[in-house]
Amino acid sequence: MIAHHQTGRSAGNPTWTHLGRCLVVLLLLCACDWIEAKPHTIGFSQSDTSESDWRRANTKSFRDAAKVLGIDLVFKDAGGKTEMQRRQVQELIDQKVDAIVLSANEISGWDSVLLNAKKAKIPVILSDRTIALRPENQGKSLFVTWIGSDFRYEGRVAAAWLAQETAGRCNIVEIQGPTGAAPSIDRGQGFRDVIDLFPGMKVIASQRGNWRTDQAKDLMKVLLRNEGANICAVFAHNDNMAIGAVQAIEDSKHLGLKPGKDILIIGVDGVKRGFEHLVDKRINALVECNPLLGRIVLKVATEVLGGRSFPPVMFMEDRVFTVHNALSALPSRKY
Ligand code: GYE
């Protein structure tokens, strides 16, 4: 019988049998394809989409990339509540997703839920923000890699730009992000790494605007009442808060101070609204922090599920924009 099969000829109605077999093979092949094509289910634990222009662009980059890469994205937004975020990560573990992407609202308190993820053999990728594990858990690879920006470097280049612009003499108001958030901690530290080298540069006030324009505007109005023209510059940990400082200065007409001229303004992120303020010289410098992490992080997650390993940290490339190069860069801005 084997011979005939090879020739494709056999007793009785050879065509149907052969077709039948092809059909079986075809079905098997399709079945394999169906098995192979099962989309990965990846859980994405976001800190708080409502907090800033940056975060909105970041969330969108994940949704868009998941569509393109055919990934079933289980999206959870903690609304800025860290305890809720930990519960949401546990829910993703209970849901047995294939992998988890975490953008941590705060840096600490992740040990137990990440130990649970490890026990469940669910790889975790840190997106945008790093976390601080307890010493006894640091060697246990509770996360595969951290993909984001070097926030300390961002603080340093912001201070270096200001030191150059002011010849190392400046009274600075710092507007910080929330307590416990990695970018706040590291940008603040990076900024001080540099200004502490200049005796003429001092942070005369440092308050939290929690990434939001309205909160930054309110606290800046109070600081203007207290310090007024004694303020040389504002270092805001993100663009939304830098814009809040600009609005406060413009609203304080009785002081006759101009943002970008009498008071220098430096922000971090490089979002479109920040750029528009840079182009019309109401902001002087922006340190870019790229929010478009969706595609690279989800691709890495897929590769990790395919057995590939990655270095523990992967930094995005960030640049500094000033009034001198903003106009030429504006058209190519994607966020
Ligand atoms: O700078 C801020 C956002 O984690 C880098 O979070 C991010 C920061 C960003 O809300 O605008």
What is the full DSSP assignment across 34-56? HHHTPPPEEEEEES-GGG-HHHH
Give the full edge-to-edge strand order of the sheet including 233-236. 201-208, 170-176, 233-236, 264-269, 285-288, 320-322
Q: How confident is the model at residue 27 (pLDDT cuts 50, 70, 90)?
A: low
Q: How confident is the model at residue 56 (pLDDT cuts 50, 70, 90)?
A: very high
Binding site membership of 48 for ligand 1 (Cβ less than 6 Å): no
Rg from Cα positions in the chain = 26
**Burial class of residue 173 (count of CB atoms within 10 Å of its CB; 0-12, 13-18, 19+):** buried
Binding site membership of 183 for ligand 1 (Cβ less than 6 Å): yes
User: What is the pLDDT at residue 25?
Assistant: 60
Binding site membership of 51 for ligand 1 (Cβ less than 6 Å): yes
- Are 173 and 231 in contact by the 8 Å Cβ rule? The answer is yes
Percent of the chain with pLDDT over 70: 89
Q: How confident is the model at residue 38 (pLDDT cuts 50, 70, 90)?
A: confident
User: What is the pLDDT at residue 39?
Assistant: 84
Cα–Cα distance for residue pair 223/202, rounded to 1 Å: 15
Query: If you average pLDDT over every residue of the chain, what do you get?
Result: 92
The residue whose CB lies within 8 Å of the most ligand 1 atoms, and thus the one to mutate among 269, 286, 335, is: 269
What per-residue string of b and e applies to 267-291 under the rule 16 or more CB within 10 Å gives b?
bbbbbebbbebbeeebbbbbbbbbb
Mean pLDDT, to the nearest integer, of 228-240? 97
pLDDT of 304 higher than 80:
yes
pLDDT of 172 higher than 80:
yes
Mean pLDDT, to the nearest integer, of 86-94? 98
Q: Give residue 286 CA to ligand 1 midpoint distance, Å.
A: 13
- Nearest Cα to 257, choosing from 235, 282, 290, 287? 282
Cα separation values, 84 from 91, 106, 279, Å: 10, 12, 39
CA 182 to ligand 1: nearest atom: 4
- Are 118 and 143 in contact by the 8 Å Cβ rule? The answer is no
179 φψ region: left (φ > 0), alpha (ψ -120 to 50), beta (else): beta
User: What is the pLDDT at residue 5?
Assistant: 42
Q: Give residue 55 CA to ligand 1 midpoint distance, Å.
A: 6
Q: Give residue 269 CA to ligand 1 midpoint distance, Å.
A: 7
Cα separation values, 309 from 21, 141, 301, 302, 313, Å: 41, 12, 10, 11, 12
Cα angle value 275/278/281 (rounded, 5°): 160
pLDDT of 3 higher than 90:
no
Q: What is the DSSP letter of 317?
A: P
Q: Give residue 64 CA to ligand 1 midpoint distance, Å.
A: 19
Please report the sign of the dihedral spanned by the C-alpha atoms of residue 151, residue 154, residue 160, residue 163: negative
Cα–Cα distance for residue pair 2/10, rounded to 1 Å: 9
- Coil, strand or helix at 25: helix
Q: Give residue 259 CA to ligand 1 midpoint distance, Å.
A: 23
Q: Is the pTM of this model over 0.95?
A: no
CA 181 to ligand 1: nearest atom: 4
